[in-house]
């Protein structure tokens, strides 16, 4: 059974950089059939896609966050990571990592497996 687990600091100061890592177990991150992504959810609000990465390092970022986001992959550790710079209180959210599979019938990717989420609070 595939599992994803987020890890990283739960508290980040304003203007600093938020860093999270997602460790994948029960399956390999090195498959061309999947993308790996980050989605966040501010307290009491809806879901927002941050960005995604392939095992080979191709990245796709949300236009609204692109200037501050970096997603990277480490296939040797079966992990991928998120860095979000210059954070403010508006970046306080539960951050989820997730896998997207390639629905070959339609050509679109679908997020199917999600981590349990990691609450990151931006505060001094």
Residue number with CB closer to another protein (72 or 108): 108
Of 7, 31, 62, 85, the one binding another protein by CB under 8 A: 62
Which residues neighbour 6 within 8 Å (Cβ) at sequence distance 6 or greater? 20, 21, 22, 95, 96, 97, 115, 116, 117, 118
Residue number with CB closer to another protein (88 or 107): 107
Of 3, 57, 86, 112, the one binding another protein by CB under 8 A: 112
Distance of alpha carbon 10 from alpha carbon 57, whole angstroms: 26
Stretch that binds another protein, among 10-18, 25-33, 57-65, 71-79 (CB under 8 A): 57-65
């Amino acid at each position: 059974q595939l599992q994803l687990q987020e890890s990283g600091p739960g508290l980040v100061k304003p203007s600093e950089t938020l860093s999270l890592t997602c460790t994948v177990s029960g399956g390999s991150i090195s498959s061309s059939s999947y993308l790996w992504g980050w989605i966040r959810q501010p307290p009491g609000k809806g879901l927002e896609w941050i960005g995604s990465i392939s095992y080979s390092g191709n990245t796709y970022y949300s236009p609204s966050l692109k200037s501050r986001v970096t997603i990277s992959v480490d296939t040797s550790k079966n992990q991928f990571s998120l860095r979000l710079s210059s954070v403010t209180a508006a970046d306080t959210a539960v951050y989820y990592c997730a896998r997207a599979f390639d629905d070959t019938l339609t050509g679109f990717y679908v997020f199917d497996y999600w981590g349990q989420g990691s609450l990151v609070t931006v505060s001094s």
